[in-house]
Structure 1
Amino acid sequence: MKFQQFLTKHTNQITLITGILIALGFLSKYALNYTLGYQISLAVASIIAVVPIAVRAWSALINKVFSIELLVSIAVIGAFIIGEFNESAVVTFLFLFGSYLESKTLQKTRNAIKGLTDLSPTTATLVTDAGTEEVDVDDVDEGDVVLVKTGNQVPVDGTVVEGNGYINEASITGESRQINKNLDDQVYSGTIVENGYLKIKATQVGDDTTFAKIIELVEEAQDTKSKAEKFIDRFAQYYTPAVLVLAALVFVFSRDFRLAITVLVLGCPGALVIGAPVSNVAGIGNGAKRGILIKGGEVVDTFAKVDTLVFDKTGTLTEGNTAVSSFKAYTNNQDQLLNLAATVEGVSDHPLGKAIIDYAGSHAKASTDLNLDNTETVKGQGICAEVNHSQVVIGNQKMLTAHDISLTADQAHDLNEMQQAGKSTVIMAIDGVVQMIFGISDTVRPNVKESLAALKAQGIKRLVMLTGDNELTADAVARELNIDEVHANLLPEEKVDYVKQLKAEGNTVAFIGDGINDSPSIANADIGIAMGSGTDVAIDTSDVVLMQSSFPALVHAHGLAKKTVLNTRENIIIAIATVAFLLIGLIFGYIYMASGMFVHEASILVVIFNAMRLINFRTKFDKTRQEPVHQTATTTA
C-alpha cells in the first residue's frame, strides 16, 4: 500500500527520469555509436516506467477489472521477451506522459470547483456579551450573532439584525453585482461584504449553509455518470478481455509474437474511456462558474433532449414582487375593509396577500379592534376566517363558488376589466356579500421574451404556462411572451397532472418553478429546474438550480447541455476512429508499436482538449447580450 502511494506521489518524477534515459539511449546509439549503452538505457527506462503501470494493473485485477494498464504491462513484457527495449521504453514513457498531460488538463476543468472551495469561510467574528471574538467557523451555532465588516466574508446563512451593507453574491448566483442588505434581509455564507457592516443571526451553519451545499452538489454532479459513461464502463469491461483474446489468436495463427504484442498496445481504448467523463466535468464546471448547478451527467443527457418547457407564472416568468394597482370597494367604510383584508391575509405568505397587506398599510389607518378566529387556508383558492363574528372569505373565483357567493353585474364588470388588463384579482366577501376586489400586478422578469425566443431557436418546440391565476391574466402574460399554451386556475396537484399528461404524450418535459410551491411538478418532470437563490427545497428537489433566477441563465443551461452531449459524441467518434485507424494501419504495415502508442496517446489529448472547449462555452444568445462570465473572487475572511 505504501509502495503504491509512493509511486502515485512520484509518477511525474518517474516519467521525467524515463524520458531522460530514452534521450541518453538514442544519444548513445546515434551520436556515440554505442549500441550497448543504447540497450541498457532503454531497458532501464522500460523497467522504471512499467512499475507504476503494472502496480495499477494489479490493483485493478484484484478488483476484477481489466484495465488499460493491464494491456500495456503485458505488451511491455512481450517487448522485453523479444528484445525490443526501444518499443517498451517508448510505449511506457508515452503512456505515463499521456497520463501526466491528462491529469493537468483535467485539473483545468475543475477550476470552478476549486474556486468555490477556496471561497469557503474559515473564521467568524462572534458577537458576545463581552464584545466580539474571532472563532473558527465550525464553532458558530444556530442563533449566534456574527459581525461582518467591509471586505470580509459572511460565514453563515442568516438574517440581518443590525447594520447596512452591499454584498457581492457572485459565489452564490455567479453574478458579480452588489446587493444592498438591510434589517431582516437574508444573507448567504461565502458572499462578501463590499461596503458597510452587518450583524447577522445565524440560521444555517457549517455543512447546512447554502454555500456548502452548492460545493457538495457540484462535486457530486461531476462524479455522477451519464448514460454514455455508463455504457463505456460496461463496454471497457468486455473490450479489454476481447483484446487479450484477439492478441492470443493473432499469435496462434501468425506465430508472430511481435504482431500480437502490437495488437495489445493498439487495442488500448484510452480515448474512449476518458472522452465522456471529461466532457461532463467541463460542462458542469462551466455551469457552476455561472451560478447554474446541474446535478450530474445523466441530467445533462436528459436536459439536452427536452422539447417541452413548462413554466409556473408568479415568481418564475414574473418577478413575484406584486403590488395592488387597482382597487374597488362597494361600501363606504374603506379603511375598515382594508384593515380586515390585511388581518386575514396576515396568516398567509402568498405574494398576493403580501401586496394587500402593504397596500392596506399605506392607504388605511391602522385598526386594533379586529379579532381573528377559525382561519382556514384553501390551497390554490384563498382563506376563510371569522373576524369579529363575521364570516370573511378572501380569494379567487373558485373560492367564491365554493362558498356559493356570487357577483353583481357591476362587480363582474369590474373584475373582468381588471383581468383583461392582465392583473391578478383577489375578491373579499363578508357574510356572503362581495365587498372589495383588488387588482394586483406583477412585472415580467427582464429578458424573458428574448430568452424564450432563444430557447426555441435552440430546439425547444413547445412552451407551456401552468398557473393558479385566472385565465385572462394568464393569457395577457402569454401573449406578451409568445407562449404556445396556457392553463390557468390550476391547483398544485392539477399542475402535476398536466406535467404527467405531457410526458404521456411522448414529450421530454422540463418544469421551471420557484422550487417551493411547485416542488411536486419539479419532481414529476423529466427535468426539474428551480428558479431561486438557493432555497433548501430548490437544491434538494430539482435537477438544475439557476441561482441567478434569470432566464438568460436558463438559455445558457439548455445550450450547455446540448453542447456537452454533442461534445461527448464527438469524443466517442474520435476514439473509435483512432482505434480503426490503428488496426487498419497494423494490417497494412504502416503502424508499429511505438508509433501506434504515440497515436493512441495523442488521441487521448485530442478528446481532452476538445472537451476543454466547453469551459468557455457561450451560446449565441450569450454572445448577442455581450455579458462576460463573472469569475468568482478569492477574498478570504
Structure 2
Amino acid sequence: MRFIVKHEIKGRLRIHLDRRQLTLREADLFCCALSLIPGVKEVKVYERTADAAILYEDGLRSVIIGEIRRFSFQDESLCELVPKDSGRALNREYKEKLIQRVVVRAFTKVFLPVPFRAVYTAVKSAGYIVKGLRCLLKGKLTVEVLDATAITVSIARLDYNTAGSVMFLLGIGELLEEWTHKKSVGDLARSMSLNIEKVWQNVNGTEVLVPVSRIREGDLVTVHVGSVIPLDGVVVTGEAMVNQASMTGESIPVKKEPDTYVYAGTAVEEGSITICVKKAAGSTRFERIVKMIEDSEKLKSNVEGKAAAMADALVPWSLGGTVLTWLLTRNVTKAISILMVDFSCALKLAMPLSVLSAMREAGSYLVTVKGGVYLESVAEADTIVFDKTGTLTKARPVVAGVVTFEERDEDEMLRIAACLEEHFPHSMANAVIQESVRRGLIHEEMHSKVDYIVAHGIASYIGGERVIIGSHHFVFEDEGSVIPEDGREQYESLPTEYSHLYMAVGGRLAAVICIIDPLREEAASVVSQLRALGLSKIVMMTGDSDRTARAIAHKVGVDEYYSEVLPEDKASFVEAERAAGRKVIMVGDGINDSPALSAADVGIAISEGAEIAREIADITISEDALDQLVTLKRISNALMVRVNRNYRFVIGFNLGLILLGVNGILAPATSALLHNTSTLMVSLKSMTNLLEQKQ
C-alpha cells in the first residue's frame, strides 16, 4: 500500500494513503489491520480524507511502516475478522444530521428576514403541536404536551425567536439521544455477535472439524449438546432442546426435530442435531440481536423506568403551576416561564444515557453486559456464588500425567480420550485435547455416536466396546465399571493433589488422567475486593471432592463452600438464596453451570467456557483475569451514584429556574435556553466514563 507521512512526532504518525478517500468498509479494514500491530496503542482512520493517525510505543516506527506497506484490502483473513457492521456508517449519518441542523438554524437566524422566519417557525412547530394533541386525545399528560404548550404559547405571543430556540434545542437533544442509543446498542450487539471459528461439518456421515468460513449454503453441520448453533438452517437428523433466549427472550428451551428451523446463536441444551445450512454468512444475527436489545423490556433497568414514570408524573404539576401562576399574577410571561422548564427532558434523557454509557464502558474492559437491568442488579447484589473449575481456578488446566491399567499404552489412552472430549469442549476436556496435541497424537474419528451426560461424562463405542470417560461417580456408580484386580494398589496410590478423569473400556478401568487445575493468582484478592464493595456472602460450589474444595475455599477466603454438587444443586441453592430475599450473582463457565446462571439475578460467564454458558449468561467476562468482576462491580456501584446525583441535579436546577422565572428574574427565552443547555450538559456528563470519577 502506497502512502505518505503527513506529520510525525515521537510515538505518533499521521499518514495519507494514495487515494482520494476510503469506503466505510476499507476504513474499517485498515483500522483493524493497524490495531493488530503489536505496540500500537490507538488508531483513527478518516475515510473522507484517506488519512490515519497512529499512536504507538517507542521503537516501533519501522515495524508499523513495514506493515502498512504490506497491507492489502483484499486480505481474506482480515475480511473475515472485521464485522460487516462496524458502526462507522451510523456515526457518519448522525454527524451529518447534527451539522445539518446547526447549519439550518444558523442560516435561518442570520439570512432569513423576520417574516419568513416567522412562517418557517410556525410550519416547523406543527409537528410538535400534533404530537401534543395526540397525547391529549389519548388522555395522557406527557412531556410532549408540555413542549407543545410552550411552543404554542410562544407563537401565540408572536415570540418566534423563543419558539425556534426551544424547537432547536429539543431537536438537538432528541438527535443526541437517538445517536447515543443506537451507537450503544450497536456496540453491545457487535460484542454479543457470534464468534465461532470452527464447526463440525458432516461429510458422508463423518464429522470433520473445519473453519466456519468454509461452510456454504447446503452443507451439513452437526451441533452437540452445550454448543452454539453456528449458522441458520433446517434440522435434518436428530432431536434437541434449544435455548433461544439470545434471540427471542424465551427462558424455556424449544424442541427442535427434523424439518424445523434453527437460528445462529441459539444453544443446544440437550440432544444433538445435524442441520442443513441455509444462511452461510449468518449475516442476519447482528440485526436480530439489535432488535432483541431494543424490544426486550427485560433489558431495561429499573432506574430508566422510574425516570420515565417520574418525568411523566411531573408534567401535570408543571401545567398546573403554569395555570396557577397566571391566575395569581395575570402575568403571561411569568406563567410561560414554567412551561419553558420541565423536568421530563433531562430525566428521560440522562438516565438511559447513563445506563448505556456504563454498558459501553464495561465493554471497554472486555465485559459484555446484555442489558442495563443487570448492572443495577450487580450494584444491589449481596451474594455471589462461584463455580470452582475454570472460574476460581485457571481456565486452562493441564494434564499432569496419565495412569494406565492392564498394561495399556499411555499415548493410546490419551488419544482415545482426546477423540471423545473434543466433541464437548470444557476446561477439563481442553486440557486433554491440548496434551494430545503437545504429544503429537493425531487421530481420526474412531468411535460411533458420542453421548454426553451433563456433569457426569461421555460415552461411545469403539470397535464394539463401550468406552466411557468422566467423573468417579459416572464411571463406577452409574456405569458399574470395575477396577482390575492387579491394578487396585495402583489405583489406591493415585496422587491426591490432582483432579481425576476416569476412563473405562468394556466396563473395566483403563486409565486415569491426572489434571492439575491451578488456582488463579488473583482469586483471593478479587474475593477480598468484592467483599469490600458490598458483597456480604461469598460462596464456592464444585463437583470436586470435599478434600479439594476445602483446600481451595481456604486459600480463596470464601464464606461457604459446597462440594460434589450437581447442576441442579447449584440452581436450587441460588433459588433458595433468592427466596430468602438476597440478590444473587452466579459466576460459572461450564455446561453444568447453565441452570444456576439462569436462576440467578445475574448470571456471569467466563468467555472461554462452554458456549451455552455464554449464551445463557447475562454478563460475560474475558478469561484473562477475575479482576474484571471487581471492575464490573465498581462500574455498577458508580452508575447508581451517578443516577442519584442526576436526580438531585435535574430536580434542583430546574426548580431553581422555575422560581426565578415566576419572580420575573429570568425571561422565558432565557429559562428555555438554560433548561435545554443544562439537559444537554447533564446528558453529556452521563456519557463520560464512571471509573475516572471518585467513587
Shift in CA distance, 523/452, structure 1 to aligned 2, threshold 3 Å: same
Deviations 1:96-144 (A, max 9, x none): 13542663477467656667899999xxxxxxxxxxxxxxx9x963649
> Is 2:142 the partner of 1:74?
no
Cα distance 1:113–1:97, how it changes in 2: closer, same or farther (>3 A)? same
State the AA in 1 paired with 2:110: I
Aligned partner (choices 186, 209, 217) of residue 141 of structure 1: 217
* Within-5 A mapping of 1:536-615: 537-538=612-613, 540-546=615-621, 550-614=625-689
Distance 1:498 1:279 in 2: 33
- Which is worse superposed, 535-544 or 59-68? 59-68
Query: 1:314 — aligned with what?
Result: 389
How is 1:284-295 mapped onto 2 (pairs within 5 angstroms)?
284-295=359-370
Q: Any conservation in 2 of the 1:345–1:354 contact (CA below 8 Å)?
A: no
> What SS class does the counterpart of residue 349 from structure 1 fall into?
coil
Q: CA shift at 1:252, angstroms? A: 3.5
Separation (CA, whole Å) in 2 of partners of 1:63 and 1:512: 46
1:494 to 551, 565, 569: 569
1:15 alignment partner in structure 2: 105
1:459-470 to structure 2, matched below 5 A, reads 459-470=534-545
Aligned pairs for 1:624-635 within 5 A: none
Residues 102, 605 of structure 1: 8 Å contact kept: no
Partner of 2:175: 103
Please say if residues 447 and 551 of structure 1, whose CA atoms lie closer than 8 Å, have aligned partners that are also in contact. Answer: yes
Residues 412 and 618 of structure 1, relative CA distance in 2, 3 Å threshold: farther
The alignment's C-alpha RMSD in Å is: 5.0
Letter in 1 for 2:531: K
> Is the 1:338–1:364 contact (alpha carbons within 8 Å) kept by the matching residues of 2?
no
Q: Distance in 2 between matches of 1:564 and 1:448?
A: 25
Q: Deviations over 1:550-584 (max 9, x none)?
A: 42333333322222222222222211112321233
Confirm or deny: 8 A CA contact 2:177 2:349 kept in the other structure. Answer: no
Q: 1:367 to 1:210 in 2, by over 3 A?
A: closer
SS of residue matched to 2:368? strand
- Could you tell me how far 1:604 is from its partner in structure 2? 0.2
Instruction: Call closer, same or farther: CA 1:235–1:365 in 2, change over 3 Å.
Output: closer
1:405 and 1:433 in contact (8 A); partners too: yes
Give the 3-state SS of the residue equivalent to 1:293 in structure 2: strand
CA deviations 1:147-169 (Å, max 9, x no partner) are: xxxxxxxxx989xxxxxxxxxxx
Aligned residue runs from structure 1 range 221-620, under 5 A: 224-267=299-342, 269-328=344-403, 332=407, 338=413, 342=417, 349=424, 352=428, 355=431, 379-382=454-457, 395-399=470-474, 400-401=476-477, 403=480, 414-415=493-494, 418-419=495-496, 421=497, 423-427=498-502, 437-445=512-520, 447-514=522-589, 516-532=591-607, 537-538=612-613, 540-546=615-621, 550-614=625-689, 617=691
- SS at the partner of 1:460? coil
Assess, with a 3 A threshold, how the Cα gap between structure 1 residues 56 and 285 changes in structure 2: closer, same or farther. Answer: farther
Map Cα deviations across residues 303-325 of structure 1 (whole Å, 9 max, x no partner). 22122221222233334433331
Distance 2:563 2:419 in 1: 25
Q: Distance in 1 between matches of 2:437 and 2:687?
A: 55
Q: Which secondary structure state, in structure 2, belongs to the residue aligned with residue 459 of structure 1? A: coil
Distance 1:366 1:229 in 2: 55
Structure with higher Rg: it is 1
Give a deviation string over 1:424-470, Cα, whole Å, max 9, x none.
12345789886754421123456444444433333233322211122
Structure 1 pair 56/454, CA: closer, same or farther in 2 (3 Å)?
A: same
Cα-to-partner distance string for 1:229-270 (whole Å, 9 max, x where unaligned): 222323333432343233233334443333332232234532
Q: Summarize the Cα distance change of 1:215–1:207 in structure 2 as closer, same or farther, 3 Å threshold.
A: farther
Partners of 1:372 and 1:385 within 8 A in 2: yes
Work out whether 1:90 is the aligned partner of 2:162.
yes
Change in Cα spacing, 1:502 to 1:18, as seen in structure 2 (3 Å) is same
**CA distance 1:216–1:314, shift in 2 (3 Å):** farther
- Structure 1 length as normaliser, TM-score? 0.66
Structure with the larger RCO, 1 or 2 (CA within 8 Å, 6+ apart): 1
Residue identity over aligned pairs, in percent, reads 22
Q: Which residue does 2:35 correspond to in 1? A: none
Count of aligned positions: 524
Amino acid at match of 2:168: L
Q: Kindly provide the amino acid, as one letter, of the partner of residue 16 in structure 1.
A: A
- Kindly indicate whether the alpha-carbon contact (under 8 Å) linking 1:341 and 1:356 is maintained by their aligned counterparts in 2: no
Q: How many angstroms does 1:495 deviate by?
A: 1.2
CA distance in 2, matches of 1:65, 1:226: 23
Deviations 1:301-360 (A, max 9, x none): 112212222122223333443333145556555659947974995697365466567768
Unpaired stretches in structure 2, ≥5 consecutive residues: 1-96, 195-212, 222-229, 233-263, 265-275
**1:4 maps to what in 2?**
none
